[in-house]
Amino acid sequence: MPLPAIDGWFAVDDGVAHLLGTRCADCRTVHFPPQTGLCRNPRCQGEDLAETRLSRRGTVWSYTNACYPPPAPFAAAEPYTPVTLAAVELAEEGIVVLGQVKDMTVDDLRVGMELELTSGALADGPEVWMWGRP
């Protein structure tokens, strides 16, 4: 497996990608990326945050594409091909997670459609989570 672009935010086990968050033992709020210290819920004083795997499927909340290369340290492919991005809502956790979309363009996406977590390599090699067809 290629090196993860960010350590501790996702895992790929037997080819299946999972986002890693934390869940507060007191109020059950889920945090992504993983939180340490205090719960982010302003009405909660919880400090007992345990690692949890997030839902692998969600619905498209919004999407766009990046038609020009993002600035460094992002390493863009040469020649640059537009990257599709989707903000995907996870119903159980009540959060929206942004990610690159694998093998789809904005023409393939609609708000409300279901996507599934997967992973793929960035242009310079490291692996990240991505959203893809279920």
Tell me which residues touch Zn ion (CB under 5 A). Answer: 24, 26-27, 29, 39, 41, 44, 46
CB of 32 to Zn ion, least distance (A): 14
Q: Which is nearer to Zn ion, 16 or 25 (CB)?
A: 25
Q: Whole-angstrom Cα distance, residue 77 to residue 124?
A: 8
CB of 51 to Zn ion, least distance (A): 15
Per DSSP (E only), the strands in 67-113 are: 83-90, 95-101
Q: Tokens in use for 83?
A: 């990257």
Q: Which is nearer to Zn ion, 39 or 60 (CB)?
A: 39
CB of 40 to Zn ion, least distance (A): 8
Instruction: State the CB neighbour count (10 A cutoff) for residue 103.
Output: 11
